């Protein structure tokens, strides 16, 4: 029985290593959020409220303001990101990866049509780039081109709805290496594909509170245990 159990554990470990790639294990984990404050973080876009409460970053909506992003100071390229998130089911949220806020940062491969759409957002005040969706509507773990529009990795609603906890905490894992982006929720892989559209190789993370138009009822999203490790 013990031998059978050891074999089962070994098979699970082999599967995990295979799914995340061989280069990931060589990096060291860094805690992005210390659970106490967001000193050095930068707010971009709208005027949603961010505070630290019970070891969590809490983002809360405000009416008549656009999407808001809270950004840690460092830029990231190839990485594995893990965080836990709990979002009001009536609120759409997300986490930006490799995102930019200036026309000087446009990559050479970005199409002319996307450049034209992006220019209105890249005034230093907001973010554009890939966004890993946090939502109770089946879009969770899809990857959206924030600020420009269109899915970079389309949602898989049937899988997402089975994996995403609408009323509880969700563990997200995001693995980005080159064009290849993979997203897991609570251990289930939802997205796995190449971002062949943005050509963004590095950029900011941004923890989003989505705009709610004229709605005055405050809605909140919470993040905790945010960790990242970089690799070549």
Query: The domain spanning residue 134 has which CATH number?
Result: 2.60.120.560
Residue 22 confidence (pLDDT): 42
Which has the minimum average pLDDT: 49-53, 191-195, 228-232? 228-232
DSSP-based three-state secondary structure for 168: coil
Quote the domain boundaries for residue 132: 26-230
Residue 1 lies in a domain: no
Residue 56 lies in a domain: yes
Please give the tally of structural domains in the chain: 1
Tens-place pLDDT, residues 76-90:
999 999 999 999 999
Q: Average pLDDT, stretch 201-221?
A: 97
Residue 195 lies in a domain: yes
Whether 28 shows a pLDDT value over 90: the answer reads yes
Residue 50 lies in a domain: yes
Residue 138 lies in a domain: yes
Residue 225 lies in a domain: yes
- Please check whether residue 43 is in contact with residue 68, taking contact to mean a CB–CB distance below 8 angstroms: yes
Helix (H) or strand (E) holding 179: none
Cα 209–212–213 angle (5° rounding)? 140
Question: Which neighbouring-strand residues pair with 228?
Answer: 30, 81
Residue 200 lies in a domain: yes
Q: What is the pTM of this model?
A: 0.88
Whether 43 shows a pLDDT value over 60: the answer reads yes
How many percent of the chain have pLDDT more than 70? Answer: 89
Q: Exposed/middle/buried for 199, CB within 10 Å: 0-12, 13-18, 19+?
A: middle
Residue 214 lies in a domain: yes
Backbone angles phi, psi at 224, to 5 degrees: -155, 170
Cα 87–176–101 angle (5° rounding)? 70
Residue 163 confidence (pLDDT): 97
DSSP-based three-state secondary structure for 113: helix
Band of pLDDT at residue 21, cut at 50, 70 and 90: very low
């Amino acid at each position: 029985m013990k031998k059978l159990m050891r074999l089962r554990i070994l098979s699970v470990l082999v599967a995990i290593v295979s799914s995340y790639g061989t280069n990931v294990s060589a990096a060291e984990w860094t805690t992005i959020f210390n659970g106490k404050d967001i000193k050095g973080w930068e707010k971009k876009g709208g005027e949603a409220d961010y505070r630290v409460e019970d070891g969590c970053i809490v983002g809360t909506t405000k009416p008549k303001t656009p999407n808001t992003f809270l950004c840690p100071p460092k830029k990231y390229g190839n990485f594995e990101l893990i965080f836990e998130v709990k979002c009001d089911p009536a609120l759409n949220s997300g986490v930006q990866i490799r995102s930019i806020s200036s026309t000087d940062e446009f990559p050479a491969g970005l199409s002319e049509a996307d450049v034209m759409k992006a220019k209105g957002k890249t005034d230093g005040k907001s973010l554009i780039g890939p966004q890993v969706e946090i939502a109770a509507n089946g879009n969770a773990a899809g990857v959206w081109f924030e600020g420009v529009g269109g899915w970079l990795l389309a949602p898989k609603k049937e899988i997402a709805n089975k994996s995403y906890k609408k009323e509880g905490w969700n563990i997200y894992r995001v693995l980005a290496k080159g064009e290849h982006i993979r997203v897991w929720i609570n251990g289930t892989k939802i997205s796995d594909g190449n971002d062949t559209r943005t050509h963004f190789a590095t950029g900011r993370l941004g923890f989003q509170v989505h705009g709610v138009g004229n709605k005055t009822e405050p809605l909140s999203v919470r993040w905790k245990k945010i960790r990242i490790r970089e690799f070549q």
